[in-house]
Structures are given as structure tokens and as C-alpha cells.
Amino acid sequence: MADTQTADPLAHYPEWARNLARRYFTKTINQFVLHGNVRDLVRTIDEKDQTAYVPLRQFLSEDLFAGRDVVLFYDRSHGIHFADPASRADFNRALSGYDTIFGTEYAKKMPKDPARVFALLDNYIRLRLADGKRIAVVVDYAETIIPMTEAASYSAEDRTALVYLQKWSHDPILLEADFSLVLITENLTDLNRQFIQSPYNAELEITLPDADQRSSFLDSFLGTGGRRQRYEALSDVPPVALSQNTAGLGYVQLRTILADVIENERRMTFEALSEKKKELIEAEAYGLLEFVETDYTLKMVAGHSEAKAHLRAAADAIRKGRPDVMPMGYLVSGPVGTGKTFLITTFAGEIGIPMVKLKNFRSQWQGVTEGNLEKILTLLRAMNPVAVMIDEADAALGDRSASGDSGVSSRVFGQIAQAMSDTRFRGKIIWFLVTARPDLMPVDLKRQGRAEEHIGLFYPSTREDRVELLEVMMKKTGVRVALSDVPDALLDGERTYSGADMEALLTRAKFRATTDLAEFLAADNGDAAAATPAAEASGAEPTDNAAPGGDGAAPEAAPAEPAPKKPSPAEAEEGTVSGEVLAAVVEDFVPPTYPLQVELQNLVAVMECTSRSMLPERFRGLDREATVRRIEELKRLIGER
């Protein structure tokens, strides 16, 4: 009996609902903002004490606020609507009185705009609270009611809605009465900042379900009868494995996957599940996240031996379940063409966890950029463990002092910086910031506690490194050429070739070999075709010993020139390239050169590297003060301030 009396009546509620109830009982807050996974199902207990999953609106009206006398909903599309007919009838009676007093005709046509709706609600709420009624108001799509915008851009409607909400939040009468106001939005950053920063409301995040919660949902949905049997007969993925491999998905998405198997009889394999998960998450992120998929591993990276050794050790730690030894993030820098993006992409093939790439999440519309980023960060937290690559990070992330864009860049910077420094996700969300100009990035993102490990990549300088790079690029491009036929200018010359340069050279050589063969074959066929018409045009019978003198003696034939050796069509298709062709391409190749910019990118990467052992030998002994002076000189020479 004692256990029954002390049992928590809120125990079956989600964490956010328990927090809402506890905050409400303090009688100091009556406004709550629900954000995050608000379009998903909510776990509850039905009338038969069975686990059920229902939409958020149904959970609020039939469970959390089931004891209220009136539960009404409002959004711009539907206007005011009610949880039950009795509440609707009561409101209509009050509406008739409002029309009589204020000379309106709202009983004939209910308004939908926030200014007039909130005026109606203010009158109705106060009237019914005076009668001892208990009321809950739910405002959905709150970002359309009090959108995030600069104060100078507020419309009269925005100001009116904001004033009503702020007035209700600290009105003593409403705080003492049994009244609650819930606003629902997916992204907190989409709401008016003045409202969000108010101490009189509480923001509660509805998170995506974790593995245990997904497992409970799968057990509830499949049950123990025919539905489970049908799923198990059509799926190679057991329910336990399905719950473990669907991080980042909500209950609705899980139900979609299950229904596709059970109703459409589409067989579920681990490969099909992986593709479906990526499709659903990319759609959920509005196409702003892209999964990095590659068949390459770090074995495909030439040179950079120290960086590869570190990343292999990091991948091993992740596979062993040691996130605590991982850095919060990496800064990967170096001159253009050194394979920064490729290195991180191949790392995705080593770690055994998903890697995503942030696409352009910026928008020209006020508040959309911050909302996009909040959505992405919410998904990343739910998907962990996950690696995140941000290419051209110096341009993508902004900084604290950015101006000229109404503060968007500084707010983006703040969101990213906060996410990167959340130690709860050490080794679970691994950030890779990739840039050729780390000096342009704010110190706040590069400091320890965020991008803790700084890796520098540089052009190959030794013959061994160049040979290794060439072999890797031959595999990548499908070009075959004997190393003994590779010109010394490519492997030992003074000119430095990046991986991008070598890839371009090999592709040109393959193109040259293919086009030379086509021209040779065309010319050969043309000569053979021309010989027959010439003979036919003479009208002479062909003879073995025709002679101009008529004596039948044949003139002495000139010795035939040896035919040039050409690769067979099969060899050309396979990518075989002769040493002569490659030498000609190397001699002709003029890479776009920006020596000052490349030198600057080299030196800033050296200065950023946080491990001396990961620097090439030629950079380890550089005088740092002299290097800083040279960097400043280079910036002046190329016109940077």
C-alpha cells in the first residue's frame, strides 16, 4: 500500500510532460513552449492501461489536460477549435455576449488573425476563470503568430500578439487560476527572441526517441500476433536490430518502415534499411544534410602518414566504444588540392558510424537560417554516434562579430559553438571543420574544447610520397602506366604536384591516348578506302608485273616505313597510357598557379597544427615569429587586410 501511495502519477509520461507538470504546479509559470519533435507520436497509457502512441494534440487534450473544463486550440489555418462539443457550445454562448457588447458579428464568422482572436480569448478566459473553470489553450505553429524578426520590422499584428502573450504570462489572476497556455513550434529559433528570452515562460524540448524508446514502440506496434509473424517472415532485420539501427528517426518514421514491410510486402534487408534511414533523415532535415557514402578507406590516401595514423587510431577507439578519449572535433587545413575533403571522406569508410555533410543551410529569409540549423543540430544529437563534416568552414560558420546580415552570422556562430562544446556528446558527435584558410576562422571555434585536434595536410615533397600519390591516382582514374615509363619531371622535378594536379594529368593522358588512337584508326581506314577507288578509276586490269615500259618488268618497290605502334582498342578502353603520351602531357601541362596564395595557405596550416609530429620535416624547424611576419607580408601582397 505504501508503494502505491508513493508511486509517481506522472511516471508514464515522457520527460518533457513531467517537466511541464512540475513547473505548472509551482504556480509561477503558465506558458510553455514545446519545440523539437512536435510532429511525432507521444507515448501514453490508454483507458485499458495499455501502452499507446498518439499525436501530440490528442495527448494534450485527452491526457495531460484531461482534467480541464475547457481545452481549445488555435492556429492561423483553422482559427479557434475545441477538444469537445461542450466546450464549443460554451464558447459560442460567450461569443454571442461579446458581439452584443462590442458590436461585432463574430458568431457569424469567427476571426482567424491573431490580434482579434487573442482579444476574444482574453475576454473568454477571464470570464470563465471567474466562474472557477479550468482552461488550457494550445497555440500551434506559433512561429506564424510571433515570428522571429527584428524589432524594427514588427507589424502591428505581431506587436499585438506579443503583448497579449507577455501580459498573460505574468498576470497574477491567470497565475493563481487553473490556466495553461502551450505554444508549439518545431524550431525555437523561429520564435520572437523577446518572447523566448522572457523569464515568464518555459521552453521544453521534445526529443527524438532513443534506442530503448524505439524498442518499446516496435514491441507495441508489432504485438505478439500476426503482425509480428508477418514482419519476421518478410524481414532480415530483427526488431532489436531495427531499434538499434534507426537513430535519428521518430515513431512516425518507424511506423512507415514497418508498414512498408507488412502492408506492401517489401522485404527488409540491412542494406534496404540503411537506404531508407538515409532517405528519411535527409527529408526530415529539408535536404540540408547529406550522408557521406564512399567505397574508399584511408588506404586510398597517399602520403599524410602521420594524419592517417592518428585517424586510424581514432577509428579504432570509436569501434571499441571509447568516446571519452576522442577530441570534440578536428580542424583540417592545408593548401588547395591536398585532399582534405577526400581524407575525411575516406575516414567515413573506417569508422563504422554514419558521416554527414552539412549543405548550405543559409537562407535569404529572416529567421530561416537559424531554424534550419536548429533542425540539423536536433537531428545530429538524436543520431549519435555520428561524424559531421563542414567543408569551407571559414565561409560557412560566420563569427561572433559578423555584421551586415541583421546578426544572422553571429547567431549561427553561437549555435554551432554551443553544439561543438557540449561535452555530453564527446566522441558521439565528431566535428570535422575543413578549410584552406584556418586563419579566417574565429578563435572560439578552433580552441580546445571544440575543434581540439588541428591536422595540416601538405603537398608531397619526396619521391616516395609522389610515387605513392601517383599510384593512388592511377587507381582512382583507371589509368595504367608503368612506373618505369613515368617521366622524372613528375616524380623528381622542382615543380610540386598536388593530388588534384596528378588526377588532372592522368585524366588528360587517358584522353590523349584515346583520341590519338581514334585519329590513327580513322586515318588508317581512310587510306585503305582511298586505294580501291583509284585503281578502279584507271580502268586497268590488276596485274602483278605492270610496268610503264610495257615489258612487264615491275619497278623496284621502295622499302615500306614501319607502322607506328598503337595500343589496341581494348588497351585504350582499359586506360593503358604509354610513357611517351604521359611525358608529352606533363610537358604541356600548365597548372593554374597562385604561388603567394599557396604559400600563405601552407604557412597558416603550419601555424594551426597542434601536433609537431604531424608536420612534414621541412616545416618542423620553422621559426614561428618569422613565419607570422611572412604570413602578414603575404596577406598584404595579395591585398588582404
pLDDT value at residue 519: 60
pLDDT value at residue 416: 84
pLDDT value at residue 547: 43
**Quick check: 217 pLDDT over 50?**
yes
CB 496 within 8 A of CB 461: yes
Residue 616 pLDDT level (bands cut at 50, 70, 90)? confident
Residue 436 pLDDT level (bands cut at 50, 70, 90)? very high
**Quick check: 221 pLDDT over 60?**
yes
Nearest in space to 469 (alpha carbons), one of 295, 308, 294, 292 = 308
Helix/strand/coil for 454 = strand
Residue 527 pLDDT level (bands cut at 50, 70, 90)? low
H/E stretch holding 413 reads helix 408-420
Residue 153 pLDDT level (bands cut at 50, 70, 90)? confident
The mean pLDDT value of the chain amounts to 84
Q: Which residues contact 129 (CB under 8 A, 6 or more apart)?
A: 135, 173, 174, 177, 178, 179
Residue 399 pLDDT level (bands cut at 50, 70, 90)? low
B/e letters for 405-424, b = 16+ CB within 10 Å, e = fewer, are: eeebbebbbebbbebbbeee
The per-residue pLDDT for range 246-305, each reduced to its tens digit, is 999 999 999 999 999 999 889 999 989 988 988 888 888 877 788 888 878 888 888 888
* Cα separation, 41 vs 329, whole angstroms: 34
Our measurement of the distance from residue 492's CA atom to the centroid of its chain's CA atoms, rounded to an integer in Å, reads 41
Burial class (CB in 10 A: 0-12, 13-18, 19+), 380: buried
pLDDT value at residue 633: 92
Considering the domain 291-456, what is its CATH architecture?
A: 3-Layer(aba) Sandwich (3.40)
Ramachandran bin of 27, using left for φ above 0, alpha for ψ from -120 to 50, beta for the remaining angles: left
**Quick check: 447 pLDDT over 60?**
yes
- Regarding pTM above 0.85, the answer is no
Q: Which residue has the higher pLDDT, 618 or 48?
A: 618
- Cα Rg for the chain, rounded, in angstroms? 35
* Cα separation, 29 vs 201, whole angstroms: 6
pLDDT value at residue 522: 59
Residue 524 pLDDT level (bands cut at 50, 70, 90)? low
Q: Which residue has the higher pLDDT, 151 or 375?
A: 375
**Quick check: 8 pLDDT over 90?**
no
CB 346 within 8 A of CB 297: yes
The mean pLDDT of 610-635, rounded to a whole number, is: 89
Grid coordinates standing for 388?
A: 559531421
The mean pLDDT of 622-640, rounded to a whole number, is: 91
pLDDT value at residue 569: 53
Considering the domain 2-206, what is its CATH architecture?
A: 3-Layer(aba) Sandwich (3.40)
pLDDT value at residue 184: 97
Q: pLDDT over 90 for what percent of the chain? A: 36
Residue 537 pLDDT level (bands cut at 50, 70, 90)? very low
The mean pLDDT of 111-126, rounded to a whole number, is: 93
**Quick check: 490 pLDDT over 90?**
no
Q: What is the DSSP letter of 144?
A: G
**Quick check: 4 pLDDT over 50?**
no
**Quick check: 1 pLDDT over 50?**
no
Q: Which residues contact 101 (CB under 8 A, 6 or more apart)?
A: none
- Among the residue ranges 71-75, 260-264, 410-414, 537-541, the one predicted with the least confidence is 537-541
The mean pLDDT of 315-336, rounded to a whole number, is: 90
Give the highest mean pLDDT range of 58-72, 347-361, 397-411, 552-566.
58-72
